[in-house]
Structure 1
Amino acid sequence: MAYQVLARKWRPQNFHTMVGQEHVLRALVHALDEQRLHHAYLFAGTRGVGKTTIARILARCLNCEEGVSSTPCGVCSSCVEITEGRFVDLIEVDAASRTKVEDTRELLDNVQYAPTRGRFKVYLIDEVHMLSTSSFNALLKTLEEPPPHVKFLLATTDPQKLPITVLSRCLQFNLKNMPADQVAGHLRNVLTSEEIPFAEASLWQLGRAAKGSMRDALSLTDQAIAFCGGDLTESSVNQMLGSIDQGKVVAIVSQLQQGNASQLLHLIKELAEHGQDFVVALEDLLSLLHQVAICQVLPDAPVSVQFDQVKVQELAQSTSPADVQLFYQMGIMARKDLAAAPVVQAGFEMALLRMLAFRPQLHAGQMQVAAPQISPQAVASNTTAIAEAQPEPEPQPEPEPESAPKAKIEPEPEQAPQPEIQPEETYQHQATQAPVIESPPWDEEPQLEQEPQLEQERQLEPERQPEPVAMAEPEPEAVVAPQKPAHDWTLADLSEPNWIQVFNDLNLSGMTHAIAANMVFAQRQGTHLQFTLEQGQSSMLNDTHQSRICEALEKMFGCELKLSIGIGKAQTETPFANRQRREAQHQNEAISSLQNDPNVASLTTAFNGQLDTDSVLPVNPIEI
């Protein structure tokens, strides 16, 4: 016996065994059981969602010898002939090949005659939108008032092309694309019945590749059985479909969370070597970020079979919700831009690099990049050059013009220009070695670039700078990075009124900083601190953020602490609300200052102008 493909072998024979389209099946089942039948039905939907299948089942229900019902017997001669496609009273027409008006008139000439075998004469017109305008006009009268023994079943993939006069004469049912998990569930039943081994992840990949079409899913399954030799493994199905290994997707999100740019580029290179489709890779990345975001809000929510639930939960704990939302939004925008990229791989790389560059908790100087290959001698030479280029806090040659006797003991004047040349030579050497500096150029203080010039000016005109030490002092301070607390806090100082000042001295950042900013101090019992977090921020709180807040408090107070954070309504002003109030007050003061400025008033009067208060920004930010 010849092999029958899965798409035909597993075509449903009644409404109760059909998968999906419940909204359509429910209406048809009730209409059949209650004998409330319309004379024309229109089924619209994309390919492979069940339009023709539903029409044939409906024809079987109408002509079953057991009577009209939603459950045809399937064994009578009418049911068997309809299943085999040889029932004389089921006239199937392919409108794509019979578009002329003569074909439609020939079809309608036999409408008036009673059915030969069945209870109804059923006309199944597939791709009805392909009929010409003349054909539609010829069909209208019969479609509106057909004989009682005639039923019209129309199917189309493009209902927008149908005339409104045809749509108004039919009961229209819009069939939906089936979700990947529903398709995977049906494939599981099919392969179990066919006794073919499979991996769960491979079924999900086939369901997703079908893009909502059950027929396409069964056809891809036939192809996968042949490709895999009868055993559907995840790696083999991925290789057939050109999809990405989901372990690589998890690794990409993990490296994004760590800010490891070099490892990200290495993963992209591996994907390119295996010929992966980067459009599919970006879609998988978005799917994983979606699962992580759900897990952050509902930790017990089920995870799609394509990803490992333990790994998704680990990413949900280690990645801040703000980063997940940012990555997802940038991925959505990059998906639109991939078509415009000169190379799809380059567009995918740029999408990931943008995710790193715009992370709220990571700037470019913190990215983990591959270290340049530089010899130890070059590093030592560069370190020496940088040290020589920086000005000393108290230069020795400067104070000497104050004492005339000392000036006479100094060497001859021809050696005096040497201090002018020395800083310039040192600066040139520093500029040559500049690429060795690990921090990016936008993180350097601008004063460092001006130091050689300032040093030369001080040595050329000492009489105009009698106190050079005062000018040299601010320079080293400009590059001091660590921030010290404004107060030396003790645990006894922590109270509800001064929590805002304590918070401002905590070394927090990113989402942890945002959570702490929406907390108020509740009470202290020994080393047990209790805080209350605003209800609106409760979804962002997890063990990671609570641990970071506790560590920052322990570092500030110098002792081990126990931290409890409750959810509720803050009775006092949170640090975030305090800052918002003071910023609004600062903004209003800036606007008031401009409105009361006489120059602004004169310009407004002279040019009949108006002050745009929305564009006003304070010159100086508010003080913490």
Structure 2
Amino acid sequence: MSYQVLARKWRPRTFHELVGQEHVQRALVNALDQGRLHHAYLFTGTRGVGKTTLARILAKCLNCTAAGAGDEGVTSQPCGQCSNCQAIDQGRFVDLLEVDAASRTKVEDTRELLDNVQYAPTQGRYKVYLIDEVHMLSTSSFNALLKTLEEPPPHVKFLLATTDPQKLPPTVLSRCLQFTLKHMPPERIVGHLSMVLEAESVPFEESALWLLGKAAEGSMRDAMSLTDQAIAFGQGEIHHADVAAMLGTLDHRHVLALIEALAEADAARLLSEVASLAEQGPDFAAVLDDVTAILHRLAIAQMVPDALDNGHGDRDDLLALAARFTAEDIQLYYQIGVQGRGDMGHAPDLRTALEMTLLRMLAFRPQGVPKPARTPLPMRGESGNGASEGSESGGSQSGSPSAAPAGEQVSAAPAADEPSAPTPTPSAETVSAPTPEAVPGPARETVPEPAPGPPAEPTSDEPPQQTSTPPWEEAPVDLDGAVAPASAPEGNVEPEAFAPDEAAGTAPASEADSEPPATAPAEKTEPVPAETTEEASPMPAASPGVTDGILTHEAWLAHFETLKLSGLTRNLAAHCMVEEDDGESLHLRLDPSQAAMQAEVHVERIREALAGAGFERRLVITDGELSDALETPRQQADRLAAERHVEAVEALRADPHVKKLEQAFGAQLIEASVKPVVESARR
């Protein structure tokens, strides 16, 4: 007996053997069981999904004689053993007329076909007209078919099949009961091929079946034909390498290797994988298409893991890879890949375009967001970011190097003149810190050494005000205590800011009264501790807001700017409130609108900054509703900025020159354009 191809040998004989068209199967089975049969059915779908097979199964259901009691009814489960069923399976049933509309398009052919409609069936219960590729009929043929299609004799059923239903006239569509057959997903194809090959005793590799399922593009018949070809190519066996060579497609594992190199941020490995691909002479444009397709699937794996398809049999691998990327990276890589695909026509060659696109993904990857990759990005010096940022915060706590020359000019005498200070440590810091708030001018600048002697006299006039305000505490409204002339000896303040000895206690105060109050602490003021006889602590335990070494929310606001955080880490911390501090763990509550920014790298940097400030704790940040009674550092900064703006507007409106311009020229002050002068920018 001659060999029968798998597509014909394994063609379904009943509805229950049908694969992947459950929605059509359910409708037809119920209609047959209930006797609610239409006179015209239209099956649409791509090639090889079972349109003709469905029509033949339906013809058997209508004409099977063994299942029903003679001619009394039809069945949804044809026996396959009676003469009618066997004749239909063998293609010799006289009452099943299969017409190829692609070869019989003329109106004369249609009229000849319809001339026999009036005659009763010869062998079966119904005369079934199966018209394949019905969209190929001419307009005249459709017109000739309309009347009969609308009101056929009771013994006639029309089964129409087409791959292009858009070409059918609406008059034909309205006369038929239409069923659209679905594409076969690769998972369904692989499962069916596994069953067939096991029954055929053909050894196979599952990865090879995934290549066949993908190449079939939703057609089960194409998958079976490709399987026949793969069996012949592999001498009775199906192997991954043989199928890849037969199909001429790129091995999917190479594309996954490129994605893994992106996850590692390893440019050297990336170029090595491209070099390995080049040995196979692939289409580099198709490689980039595959990369962007996987990036799309990774985005789905991150957002909705259950929606990730298993089109290449790599679902588990992609779920593992998705955990190694941030959502921002995937979106950026996809956009760069799509843009690079459009730019390939302008590149010197396709390999160069692919390499530059992949390297561009690494070069433009955001550096401030968490980096799940195990190796640092070679072209960006980010490996030391955490250390440098920690050293910066630590340096600002223990003493600013730039302020050392100024601190050397301050003797230990002022600290000794302050017996009313609660502890010697705050008084030692107070010698240097209030200067940014007390004296308008660039408090952080280092100037030539002034004479340290004369300004020390008025220090004893107002010592309580100096010691009551810690160097890092925000006190925008407490200007009186911050303007004490004890700030005069500071070496980091220009000597011109002070009057002679007689006016040392009045000149700075009058000038400070005319200036807008200080705002966010570390944007304008940075603690510059001076060298004293006692070593200053970054955050004294006796300072306001700190009780028994416990950090309160007030101390968090006051000390926030001295943490020297920057970038996304600073933004994350600025939206936090202190929820609880038990001495071992510090709990911060994060604004829910900023929850997407939270990442382990930012939490670690905040913890290191707090440790440098004297708060060595385990840091826990959780997002949740914030208290209306408290404000975050960001809210405080916004409020103070608004207050500065209001004061600046009021100062301008009270200015005589502005009033004169308004009176003389009818000028109007545009409040939105008013920008308060930053304290550190004044001289």
TM bin, normalised by shorter chain, reads 0.5 to 0.7
Quick one: which of 188, 191, 198 aligns to 1:185?
Answer: 191
Output the CA distance in 1 between the equivalents of 2:102 and 2:262: 51
Displacement after TM superposition at 1:268 (Å): 1.8
Change (3 A) 1:583 1:259: farther
Out of 148, 152, 157, the residue aligned to residue 146 of structure 1 is 152
The aligned residue for residue 225 of structure 1 is 231
Offset of 1:60 from its aligned partner? 1.0
Is 2:585 aligned against 1:523?
no
Q: 1:63-212 to 2 correspondence within 5 Å?
A: 63-65=63-65, 66-67=67-68, 68-212=74-218
Conserved in 2, the CA contact under 8 Å of 1:356 and 1:362?
Answer: no
Structure 2 counterpart SS, 1:566: strand
The aligned counterpart of 2:608 is: 554
Match of 2:247 in 1: 241
Unaligned runs of 5+ in 1: 371-482, 591-596, 606-610
Task: Indicate the SS of the match to 1:72.
Answer: coil
Shift of 1:226: 2.1
SS class of match (1:526)? coil
Distance in 2 separating the partners of 1:219 and 1:618: 75
**Taking structure 1 as the reference length, what is the TM-score of the superposition?**
0.67
| Matching residue of 1:569 | 625
- AA paired with 1:568? G
In structure 1, what is the equivalent of residue 23 of structure 2? 23
Q: 1:192 to 1:113 in 2, by over 3 A?
A: same
> For residue 40 of structure 1, what is the aligned residue in structure 2?
40
Amino acid at match of 1:316: A
AA in 2 matched with 1:153? L
**Residues 2-42 of structure 1: CA deviation (Å, up to 9, x unaligned):** 22111111111111121112222221111111110111111
Shift of 1:235: 3.2
| SS state at 2:78 partner | coil
SS in 1 for 2:323: helix
Alignment TM-score, normalising by the size of structure 2: 0.61
- List per-residue Cα deviations over 1:222-243 (Å, max 9, x = no partner): 2222223333333332333333
Does structure 1 retain, via aligned residues, the 8 Å contact 2:250–2:282?
yes
Q: Work out whether residues 186 and 312 of structure 2, in 8 Å CA contact, stay in contact via their aligned partners in 1.
A: no
User: Structure 2: how far apart are the matches of 1:190 and 1:563?
Assistant: 58
Identity of aligned residues (%): 53
Q: Is the contact between residue 135 and residue 165 of structure 2 (CA under 8 Å) also seen in structure 1?
A: yes
Shift in alpha-carbon separation, 1:61–1:314, aligned structure 2, 3 A:
closer
Distance 2:330 2:246 in 1: 31
1:302 CA drift (Å): 7.9
Give the CA deviation at 1:102. Answer: 0.8
Whether the aligned pair in 1 keeps the contact of 2:185 and 2:311 (CA below 8 Å) is: no
Q: Provide the C-alpha distance between the structure 2 equivalents of 1:218 and 1:583, rounded to a whole number of angstroms.
A: 72
Secondary structure of the 2:362 match is helix
User: Aligned residue for 2:378?
Assistant: 368
1:436-447 matched pairs, under 5 angstroms: none
Where in structure 2 are there 5+ consecutive unaligned residues? 69-73, 370-375, 381-522, 529-537, 540-545, 649-657
User: What CA RMSD, in Å, does the superposition of the two structures yield over aligned residues?
Assistant: 4.3
Shift in alpha-carbon separation, 1:6–1:310, aligned structure 2, 3 A: closer
**Distance in 2 of aligned mates of 1:309 and 1:275:** 27
1:318 is paired with a residue of what secondary structure? coil
CA offsets 1:279-312 (integer angstroms, 9 cap, x no match): 5534443453345334445679988384667754
The one-character-per-residue Cα deviations of 1:228-262 (angstroms, maximum 9, x if unpaired) are 33333333323333333343223212322344444
- Alpha-carbon distance, 1:329 to partner: 3.8
Task: Measure the CA separation in 2 of the matches of 1:34 and 1:304.
Answer: 38
Q: Deviations over 1:397-451 (max 9, x none)?
A: xxxxxxxxxxxxxxxxxxxxxxxxxxxxxxxxxxxxxxxxxxxxxxxxxxxxxxx
Paired amino acid for 1:566: T
Verify the 8 A CA contact 2:588 2:621 in the aligned structure 1: yes
Q: Name the SS for the 1:197 alignment partner.
A: coil
Whole-angstrom distance in 1 between the partners of 2:359 and 2:112: 64
**1:29, 1:569 → 2: CA distance?**
56
Amino acid in the other structure paired with 1:121: K
- Separation in structure 2 between the aligned mates of residue 350 and residue 261 of structure 1, nearest angstrom: 11
**Greater Rg, structure 1 or structure 2?**
2
Counterpart residue type for residue 523 of structure 1: E
Change (3 A) 1:567 1:295: farther
Give the 3 Å change call, closer, same or farther, for CA 316–74 of structure 1 in structure 2.
same
Q: Secondary structure at the match of 1:99?
A: coil
C-alpha distance after superposition, 1:579-604 (max 9, x if no partner): 899999999999xxxxxx99xx9xxx
1:288 aligns with 2:344: no
Task: Write the letter of the residue equivalent to 1:562.
Answer: R
Q: Separation in 2 of the partners of 1:252 and 1:579?
A: 45
Amino acid at match of 1:30: N
Which residue does 2:10 correspond to in 1? 10
Preserved contact between residue 573 and residue 606 of structure 2 (Cα < 8 Å): no
Aligned positions of 1:424-435 closer than 5 A: none
- How far has the Cα of 1:504 moved from its partner? 9.4
CA contact (8 A) 1:41 1:154 kept: yes
Counterparts of 1:413-428 in structure 2, within 5 Å, are none
Please state whether the residue corresponding to 1:207 is helix, strand or coil.
helix
> Cα offset for 1:140?
0.7
Structure 1 segment 258-407 matched on structure 2, within 5 A: 258-297=264-303, 304=310, 306=312, 312-332=318-338, 344-361=350-367, 368=378
Q: Give 1:538 deviation, angstroms.
A: 5.8
Report the CA distance between 1:335 and its aligned residue. 5.5
TM-superposition CA deviations, 1:510-539 (whole Å, max 9, x none): 7x7776676544222223122345556667
Distance in 2, matches of 1:574 and 1:494, equals: 15
Does the Cα contact within 8 Å between 1:243 and 1:277 map onto a contact in 2?
A: no
